[in-house]
Amino acid sequence: MAAHRLTTEVITDEAVLRTVLGGDAIPLVRAKICDHLTPQTRRFVELSPFVCLATSNARGACDVSPRGDPPGFVRILDARTLLLPDRPGNRLADSLRNVLANPHVGLLFVIPGVDDTLRVNGRATLTTDAALLAPSAIEDKVPKLGVLVDIDEAYTQCSKAFLRSHLWDPARFRARTDLPSTGEILAGITGDLDADEYDEARAARYARREGFY
């Protein structure tokens, strides 16, 4: 790894990294990493309505995609296998195309109000198996495909990031109007979009739950 364009003070060696970090992880931390779900960790999957799916392509370029549905939408097929249903989206299919090129994925399960999370690393396979997908139907619509994840590692992540960020503290919540709207962002890129018209049409589609399932 070459020096960064903004600095020459970079770390390129794990031994140096370990020195900066103050050593290795303690044995108890390493011991929490498991190759399957336990009765305790499966509760995070069962109660989570939101998961981030991390993927990368054959070149190593990464992507993280948010996925959400009613709690337990990521189904536990057995202690070593999960099924993540794929819902209608923008058809860029970033995550799905990445899985075709590189099956290694990471999942981060989040539960509202809970500071601990569950991390799962594994290998993904895209499936159109109707029998597997049928139980994932919502509003009588069965997903066309799903992501099977064979678990390599499953472990809880401590709450420090959530505590530092005060993520669940309502007093720290921001109003959506503090940020540019999606229409304004697109208009800033394309230069020829009516931001208000786009935002109103999008809000109307979402109010009708159009394209949700």
71 and 125 both lie in a single domain: yes
The two structure tokens encoding residue 53: 């799916």
Residue 46 contacts residue 30 (beta carbons within 8 Å):
no
DSSP 179: S
Q: Which residue has the higher pLDDT, 40 or 3?
A: 40
Determine what percent of the chain is predicted with pLDDT higher than 70: 100
**In terms of domains, do 92 and 139 share one?**
yes
Give the model confidence (pLDDT) of 72-84 as tens digits. 999 999 999 999 9
Q: Kindly indicate the confidence band of residue 189, based on its pLDDT and cuts at 50, 70 and 90.
A: very high
Tokens of 141: 């619509």
CA angle in degrees (0–180, nearest 5) for 102-107-111: 165
pLDDT of 1: 63
If pLDDT is split at 50, 70 and 90, which confidence band does 3 have? confident
Helices 195-207 & 182-190 angle (0-180, nearest 10): 140
Under 8 Å between Cβ of 204 and 191: no
**Rounded-to-integer distance, Cα 136 and Cα 146, Å:** 9
The reply to whether 192 and 102 lie within a common domain is no
Question: Which pLDDT tens digit goes with each residue over 124-144?
Answer: 999 999 999 999 999 999 999
Q: Are 120 and 106 in contact (CB under 8 A)?
A: yes
**Looking at residue 93, which CATH number applies to its domain?**
2.30.110.10
Domains of the chain: total:
2
Residue 148 sits in the same domain as residue 179:
no
Q: Model's pTM, two decimal places?
A: 0.94
Residues 141 and 191 reside in one and the same domain: no
Whole-angstrom distance, CA of residue 37 vs CA of residue 184 = 43
Q: 155 and 181, same structural domain? A: no
Per the prediction, the chain carries an average pLDDT of: 96
Question: Is residue 53 domain-shared with residue 36, that is, in the same domain?
Answer: yes
Domain containing 199: what range?
A: 174-207
Question: Does residue 6 sit within a domain?
Answer: no
Same domain, 161 and 182: no
Q: Do 179 and 92 lie in a common domain?
A: no
- Whether 38 is covered by a domain: the verdict is yes
Domain membership of residue 14 (yes or no) is no
Output the pLDDT for position 210.
94
CB 35 within 8 A of CB 154: yes
Evaluate whether 88 touches 212 at the Cβ level (below 8 Å). Answer: yes
Q: What is the average per-residue pLDDT within 51-69? A: 97
Q: Is residue 121 part of a domain?
A: yes
Both tokens of 146, joined, read 């799903």
What is the C-alpha to C-alpha distance for residues 179 and 200, in angstroms, rounded to an integer? Answer: 16
Task: Judge whether 4 lies within some domain.
Answer: no
In a domain, 10, yes or no: no
Task: Dig out the tokens for 13 from the structure.
Answer: 């060696």
Residues 52-81: what's their mean pLDDT?
A: 97
Residue 107, judged by CB atoms within 10 A of its CB (0-12, 13-18, 19+), counts as buried
pLDDT above 90 (res 2): no
Q: Please give the Cα distance from 88 to 84 (Å, whole number).
A: 13
Asked if pLDDT for residue 21 goes beyond 90, the answer is: yes
- Asked if the structure places residue 15 within a domain, the reply is no
Let me know whether 48 and 96 are in one domain: yes
Give how far Cα 150 sits from Cα of 23, 135, 161, Å: 31, 19, 27
Examine the domain organization and report whether 104 and 178 are in the same domain. no
Amino acid at 35: D
Q: Are residues 72 and 95 in the same domain?
A: yes
Please count the residues of the chain.
213
Asked if the structure places residue 156 within a domain, the reply is yes
